[in-house]
Amino acid sequence: MFELDLRSRKPIYEQLMDNIKELIVTSVLKPDEKLPSVRHVSQELTVNPNTIQKAYRELERQGFLYSASRKGYFVAPTDWISNDRKLEEMKDQFRPLLKEAIYMGLTKEELLRWFEEAEQEGGDHRD
């Protein structure tokens, strides 16, 4: 279910978070769907359970997941995620990448095309 690149400089818990966010955004994981247990994911990926727990907790803090006592972690309904706060966080992460892409020759037209491609891939949840 989750893919990790053990050669990546990106920490494993961040890779796992990115994987889960992608599955949520593309509606592979639905609201209120239970995620695999920390122990199960740990065994499947051969990763320390504390690493999995860290990713789940951070996603809970960000509003993507919620936990139910002794039942595990679940995908948060989309209305639980504060869009304004989340978009502001994403903007802070996106801006350095955008500046680098502009430096490398990215045009507004190409950026718009990227946006449209992402939108067609299922990134538009403004129903």
Q: What is the DSSP string of 73-108?
A: EEEPPGGGS-HHHHHHHHHHHHHHHHHHHHHTT--H
d(CA 124, CA 11): 28
Cα within 13 Å of Cα(124), Cβ side: 8
Q: Would you state the structure tokens that stand for residue 78, as one six-digit string?
A: 């989309």
Write out the chain's pLDDT in tens, 127 residues: 788 888 889 999 999 999 999 898 888 999 999 999 999 999 999 999 999 999 999 999 888 999 998 899 999 987 655 566 677 777 888 888 899 999 999 999 999 999 999 888 865 554 4
* Residues whose CB is less than 8 angstroms from the CB of residue 19 and which lie 6 or more positions away in sequence, other chains included: 2, 3, 4
Q: Which residues on adjacent β-strands are paired with residue 75?
A: 65
Q: How far apart are CA 83 and CA 81, in angstroms?
A: 6
Q: Given this model, what pLDDT does residue 83 score?
A: 65
Amino acid at 42: S
Q: For 37-74, write each residue's pLDDT tens digit.
A: 999 999 999 999 999 999 999 999 888 999 998 899 99
The reported pTM is: 0.66
